[in-house]
Amino acid sequence: MEKKFWKNKKVLMTGHEGFLGSWLSRTLVNAGAQVIGVDIVKNRKISLLNENGLRTRLTGIKADIADFKVMRKIIKKHNPHIVFHLAAEAIVSRANKEPVRTFRSNIEGTWNILEISRESRSIEAIVMASSDKAYGSHKILPYTENAALKGDHPYDVSKSCADLIGYTYAHTYGVPVVTTRCGNIYGPGDYNFSRIVPDAICCALTGKKLIIRSDGKFTRDYVYVDDIVQGYIILAEKLRALNLHGQAFNLSDENPISVIKLVNKIYALAGEKPKYTILNKARYEIKHQYLDSGKARRVLKWKPEFSLTQGLKAAMEWYAKTITA
Ligand SMILES: NC(=O)c1ccc[n+]([C@@H]2O[C@H](COP(=O)([O-])OP(=O)(O)OC[C@H]3O[C@@H](n4cnc5c(N)ncnc54)[C@H](O)[C@@H]3O)[C@@H](O)[C@H]2O)c1
């Protein structure tokens, strides 16, 4: 991280109350940036932002990114230099239940940010969260950035669309936007307890039985949140110099693992015998998906620094403190 680059930079962070947003906000505030966060939720109870007086060191605004007028007012008022666009309905099962709200947040919210940025004179770089799910389901593994974006289900489709909208704003209007497609991110601060890592850790720590919705054989790669934070920061710093407008980068650990193996590892690290039930009821989800991050390694000189064991241990420590607090 180039601390000089961030000193007094104005950063608009959509979704700053979320898992990744809180991590990025913390890192940037500590580097001297002025973070203006926009989130539909205000003061989430379980959040990294509640630690070390962080909330008092950033500006938090409660707003819906799908509201064009409000977002335009916020961006015009603050004139940010850098935008991290992370706000989204990010939970697949909730997106399946509420497709319209998901499309509004993930697609309309994205075009709002990009359309408003098109008029802005201050914005130098926009780093936008797409997802590995934007690819939909492909037979050829691992997925490279050249794989077609062809989601099948609401969350995946919302990300395929938003990703393409980012691309067109860069290519048609020269908006400085670069897109990330990350594997499954995990680590301290993820309050989304329906996700497999927080759920399995909490069950292992409390002795509750874990319910696995899939058949346990789905494969994914899991990448530690601080590694992703570093990837986002490098992208913002290098977008101009490397002319990354309109490009997308896979960010992942490249070590795919099945759900059952992951769960067994979490229980072993907690010193417990695995206790779970396999429901085999996950519908509308991609079975096998993992990414090739060769482009990020080559172009950005990025690579994950945390092994799965190190990352899970750090997460477990945080959950142990948080759920007993
Ligand atoms: N966590 C992962 O494994 C992962 C993997 C790939 C991509 N992503 C993407 O990265 C981004 C961040 O993910 P996360 O894990 O931090 O998710 P998260 O759910 O923890 O955070 C998303 C935040 O966006 C906010 N939000 C949702 N709709 C909004 C709206 N209409 N207006 C304003 N705020 C709104 C939520 O309140 C939340 O605080 C998302 O775009 C997600 O799709 C996440």
Instruction: State the CATH number of the domain containing residue 15.
Output: 3.40.50.720
**Mutational pocket test of ligand 1: of 13, 19, 155, the residue with most ligand atoms within 8 Å of the beta carbon:** 19
Band of residue 112 on the pLDDT scale cut at 50, 70, 90: very high
In this predicted structure, the answer to whether residue 198 has a pLDDT above a threshold of 80 is yes
The mean per-residue pLDDT over the stretch 96-124 comes to 97
Q: Annotated catalytic residue: which of 135, 143, 155, 222?
A: 155
What pLDDT score was predicted for residue 211?
Answer: 94
243 in a structural domain:
yes
317 in a structural domain:
no
271 in a structural domain:
no
70 in a structural domain:
yes
Q: What pLDDT digit, counting tens, does each position of 237-286 carry? A: 999 999 999 999 999 999 999 999 999 999 999 999 999 999 888 777 77
The mean per-residue pLDDT over the stretch 149-168 comes to 97
106 in a structural domain:
yes
Q: Is 24 in the pocket of ligand 1 (CB under 6 A)?
A: no
Check: CB of residue 184 under 8 Å from CB of residue 258.
no
Tokens of 323: 């759920």
What pLDDT score was predicted for residue 325?
Answer: 67
Instruction: State the Cα–Cα distance between residues 136 and 54, nearest whole angstrom.
Output: 37
283 in a structural domain:
no
What's the total number of domains in the chain? 1
297 in a structural domain:
yes
Q: How many CB atoms lie within 10 A of CB 242?
A: 14
Tokens of 210: 């874990």
Q: What pLDDT digit, counting tens, does each position of 83-93 carry? A: 999 999 999 99
42 in a structural domain:
yes
Residue nearest to atom 7 of ligand 1 (CA): 131
CA angle 66, 70, 75 (to 5 degrees): 100
Check: CB of residue 180 under 8 Å from CB of residue 244.
no
Whether 155 is catalytic is yes
Rounded to the nearest 5°, which phi and psi values hold at 11? Answer: -120, 120
Q: What pLDDT digit, counting tens, does each position of 301-313 carry? A: 999 999 999 999 9
Which residue range(s) make up the domain with 240? 3-186+223-252+289-304
Instruction: State the Cα–Cα distance between residues 40 and 16, nearest whole angstrom.
Output: 10
